[in-house]
Amino acid sequence: MGNADTSEDLKCYMLLVAIIFHYHGLDEEEKVILDKKASEKNAFEELNWAYDFIAEDYMTSFERAKIYLKKAKNSLDKSKRLRYINDTWVSNGEKGYITEMEATAMLKLAKDWDVDKELISMVQQLA
């Protein structure tokens, strides 16, 4: 459980960001941000995996992602989980706004990962 991002770790990260960006339907600006994130982490394979995961059944994709990410929690140390969810929050804000539904979804995922209090604290510092 080191600090380096494994392919499995990056699957969690890209799914986390992608599922939030798909919450209202992925728009072009969000796709650009997702591509940038994948480029920064050299994670295009993992991003494509996340797109396939979501496309498998769009209507159930959030609940399926929630289950997948909750199972993956044990393989990610707490600092990495917090970094991933915080980066998802910041990335989502890059489009200029975060909807209440997106914020609620991120908080639900953060709670599943036992980092909700830390995320709320970090978000309050950004405000």
**What digits encode the pLDDT tens for the residues 64-89?**
999 999 999 999 999 999 999 999 99
> What single letter denotes the amino acid at residue 90?
V
**pLDDT surpassing 80 at residue 53:** yes
pLDDT bracket for residue 50 (50, 70, 90): very high
pLDDT bracket for residue 3 (50, 70, 90): low
| Residue carrying structure tokens 């953060």 | 110
Q: Where are the alpha helices (DSSP H) in 1-127?
A: 7-21, 28-40, 44-56, 61-72, 78-93, 100-112, 116-126
Share of the chain above pLDDT 70, in %: 97
Question: 5, 72 in Cβ contact below 8 A?
Answer: no
Distance CA 38, CA 25 (A): 19
Question: 34, 21 in Cβ contact below 8 A?
Answer: yes
**pLDDT surpassing 90 at residue 25:** no
* Interval 27-55 mean pLDDT: 96
Helix (H, G, I), strand (E, B) or coil at 59: helix
Average pLDDT, the chain: 94
Tokens, residue 56: 């498998």
**Residue 1's pLDDT is what?**
42
* Interval 25-31 mean pLDDT: 92
* Interval 35-58 mean pLDDT: 97
